[in-house]
């Protein structure tokens, strides 16, 4: 049974859907996920990402809300190309852990608009099995959880992620919470709810 993860609105809905499809298995199959099971406003915030290799992902689906927010379409692209330097290393490590451990990931990013307004995006990343019973895809749901004080987000900006406010990995099947640290030796296991 999955714990009550600290998720907001539509992310909770998508996680509960994923968990119901999972049943008693480690993770559900990609073929079991049907976007028609969701309201359009939820689908707008979904992503489906396939791993082609440790340094290469393929975005199978990039929800329209992300396209509007980011000002670019990422379907068919490797999202690692959006990041540079240390940030890229962190994102690659975090995503690979979702596939390899496997784990459910929860992250909260603080972003800054070109005009300097800040807002937060919460993401829940859920692994999916392919036909060969390998974790090969990640279903991601996102939600804006804090709007900038200055007003609505200006769409189409070149946003900077200023920092991860929090990032956790929930190792399957136990949902043991691992506070994310890029150096695996610095991970700190804790019980959910601590």
3-state secondary structure at position 80: helix
Q: Is the pLDDT of residue 118 over 90?
A: no
Q: Is the pLDDT of residue 162 over 80?
A: no
Instruction: Specify the DSSP class assigned to residue 41.
Output: H
Give the strand order in the sheet containing 135-146: 56-62, 46-53, 135-146, 118-129, 103-112, 160-171, 176-179, 188-190
* pLDDT score of 157: 53
Q: Is the pLDDT of residue 149 over 70?
A: no
Q: Is the pLDDT of residue 134 over 80?
A: yes
- Residue 132 sits at φ, ψ, to 5 deg, of -95, 15
For the entire predicted model, the pTM comes to: 0.84
Q: Is the pLDDT of residue 136 over 90?
A: yes
Q: What percent of the chain has pLDDT over 90?
A: 43
Exposed / middle / buried, residue 141 (Cβ in 10 Å: 0-12, 13-18, 19+):
buried
Among 79-88, 122-131, 139-148, 158-167, name the one with the lowest average pLDDT.
158-167
**What are 143's two structure tokens?**
């939600």
Task: Give tens-digit pLDDT for 8-22.
Answer: 889 999 999 999 999
Domains and CATH numbers, the chain: 9-190 (3.30.450.20)
């Amino acid at each position: 049974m999955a714990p009550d993860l600290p998720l907001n609105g539509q992310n909770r809905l998508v996680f509960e859907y994923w968990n119901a499809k999972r049943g008693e298995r480690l993770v559900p199959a990609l073929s079991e996920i049907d976007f028609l099971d969701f309201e359009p406003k939820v689908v707008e915030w979904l992503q489906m990402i396939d791993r082609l290799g440790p340094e290469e992902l393929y975005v199978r689906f990039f929800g329209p809300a992300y396209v509007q927010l980011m000002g670019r379409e990422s379907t068919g692209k490797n999202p690692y190309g959006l990041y540079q330097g240390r940030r890229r290393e962190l994102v690659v490590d975090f995503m690979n852990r979702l596939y390899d451990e496997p784990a459910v990931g929860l992250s909260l990013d603080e972003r800054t608009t070109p005009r300097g307004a800040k807002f937060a995006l919460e993401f829940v990343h859920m692994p999916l099995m392919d036909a060969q019973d390998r974790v090969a895809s990640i279903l991601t749901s996102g939600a804006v959880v804090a709007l900038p004080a200055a007003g609505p987000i200006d769409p189409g900006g070149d946003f900077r992620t200023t920092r991860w406010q929090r990032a956790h990995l929930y190792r399957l099947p136990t949902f043991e919470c691992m506070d994310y640290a890029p150096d695996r030796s610095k991970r700190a296991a804790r019980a959910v709810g601590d």
